[in-house]
């Protein structure tokens, strides 16, 4: 089967996120982007299926700072083709990204679309569900354990408490992947560099992706700390002592 994986790049959450002077968005000038972790799982699951059943894996990314790197990394891991959508605003809402990806898919042959189940910035909804709805094909969120048997795709959808629902579908489908069956593989930098010499990323300008999402950001802020944690300072020894004391007090009480 031919699998398409539209990926999202999101700000690296390990770094501090700054807010612009107007307080209406992140300060994007110095943001470092990286692949959304659930998209990394979607790529892994797609590659696993390709390795077991043949077919192709195409990765699509919207242009941002690190898109080339993410796409070449996917190629280095075993994807067959990479497409970059250009001319979209860095802060484009997910509806717009979905529409742009949908337009790229219109010219392609595919059986399964796999996205990351959610991304850190999808304020207006998750990419996979939006995409499935625009395409008019079924979508399932929070997916793991995808398998293929002939024309039929089987999958699990996760609920709370470890309960899962099983589904089957024999048509095109969009899957919002939660976790791949194994930890996403790693592509060594040397391999990525080599791929950069051997393969190219296809560029497509975003077309007809203007959708009004019907909401505007009024205020973006870091959560009020509330009471927050009482921070313990000092040497590791002192800190351990203080933690042991609060725990012992609680255990005693």
Partner 1 sequence: MSQDILVVAEHLNGAIADVTYEMLGKGKELASATGGALICAVLGSGVDPSSLGCADKILNVDHPGLADFNPEAHSTVLSSVVTTAAPRLTLVANTSMGMDLAASLSVKNDLPLVAYGLNVAIEDGKVIATSQLYGGKICAESELEGDSVIVSVLAGSFPAAAGRMDGSPAVETVEAPAAVTDTRLRFTGLIEPEAGDVDITQQDILVGVGRGIGSDEHLPMMEQLAKALGGTVAASRPIVDNKWLPKTRQVGKSGLKVTPKIYVALGISGAPEHIEGMKDAELIVAINTDETAPIFEFAHYGTTEDLFDVVPALIEKLT
Measured from the CB atom, the residue of 75 and 132 that comes closer to partner 1 is 132
- Interacting residues with partner 1 between 199 and 228 (CB under 8 A): 213-223, 225-226, 228
* CA-closest candidate to residue 69, choices 196, 188, 202: 196
Other beta carbons less than 10 A from residue 225's beta carbon: 7
The nearest distance, CB 142 to ligand FAD, in angstroms, is 5
H or E element, residue 248 = helix 236-252
Measured from the CB atom, the residue of 58 and 132 that comes closer to ligand FAD is 132
The nearest distance, CB 139 to partner 1, in angstroms, is 6
Binding marks (x or -) toward ligand FAD, 65..104, rule CB under 6 A?
----------------------------------------
The nearest distance, CB 48 to ligand FAD, in angstroms, is 19
Is residue 10 at the binding interface for ligand FAD, with CB under 6 A as the rule? no
How many residues belong to the site for partner 1 (CB under 8 A)? 84
Contact 141, 128 (CB under 8 A): yes
User: Can you tell me which of 48, 67, 115, 126 binds partner 1, judged by CB under 8 A?
Assistant: 126
User: Can you tell me which of 62, 140, 146, 195 binds partner 1, judged by CB under 8 A?
Assistant: 140
Stretches 58-66, 76-84, 150-158, 187-195: which one binds partner 1 (CB under 8 A)?
150-158
Q: Is 195 exposed, middle or buried (0-12, 13-18, 19+ CB in 10 A)?
A: buried
Q: Which long-range contacts (CB under 8 A, 24 or more apart) does 136-140 make?
A: 137/171, 137/172, 137/173, 137/174, 138/169, 138/171, 138/173, 138/174, 139/173, 139/174, 139/175, 139/176, 140/167, 140/173, 140/174, 140/175, 140/176
Is residue 117 at the binding interface for ligand FAD, with CB under 6 A as the rule? yes
Measured from the CB atom, the residue of 53 and 123 that comes closer to ligand FAD is 123
Measured at the CA of 82, the angle between CA 113 and CA 3, to 5 degrees, comes to 25
- Interacting residues with partner 1 between 54 and 93 (CB under 8 A): none
User: Can you tell me which of 150, 163, 197, 208 binds partner 1, judged by CB under 8 A?
Assistant: 163
**Distances from the Cα of 81 to the Cα of 2, 5, 20, 65, 222, angstroms:** 11, 10, 36, 20, 39
Contacting positions for ligand FAD (CB under 6 A): 117-118, 142, 178
């Amino acid at each position: 089967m031919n699998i398409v994986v539209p990926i999202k790049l999101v700000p690296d959450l390990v770094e501090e996120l700054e807010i612009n002077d107007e307080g209406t968005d992140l300060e994007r000038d110095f943001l470092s982007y990286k692949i959304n972790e659930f998209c990394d799982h979607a790529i892994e699951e797609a590659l696993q299926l390709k390795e077991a059943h043949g077919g192709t894996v195409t990765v699509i990314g919207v242009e941002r700072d690190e898109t080339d790197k993410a796409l070449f990394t996917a190629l280095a891991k075993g994807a067959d083709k990479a497409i970059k959508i250009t001319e979209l605003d860095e802060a484009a809402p997910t509806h717009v990204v979905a529409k742009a990806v949908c337009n790229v898919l219109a010219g392609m042959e595919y059986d399964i679309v796999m996205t990351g189940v959610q991304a850190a910035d999808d304020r207006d909804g998750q990419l996979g569900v939006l995409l499935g709805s625009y395409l008019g094909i079924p979508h399932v969120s929070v997916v793991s354990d995808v398998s293929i048997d002939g024309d039929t795709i089987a999958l699990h959808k996760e609920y709370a408490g470890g309960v899962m629902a099983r589904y089957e579908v024999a048509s095109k489908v969009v899957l919002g992947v939660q976790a791949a069956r194994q930890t996403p593989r790693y592509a060594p930098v040397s391999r990525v560099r080599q791929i950069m010499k051997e393969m190219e990323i296809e560029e497509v300008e975003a077309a007809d992706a203007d959708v009004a999402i019907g909401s505007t950001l009024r205020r973006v802020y870091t959560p009020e700390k509330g009471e927050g944690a009482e921070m313990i300072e000092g040497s590791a020894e002192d800190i351990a002592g203080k933690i042991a004391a609060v725990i012992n007090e609680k255990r005693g009480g």
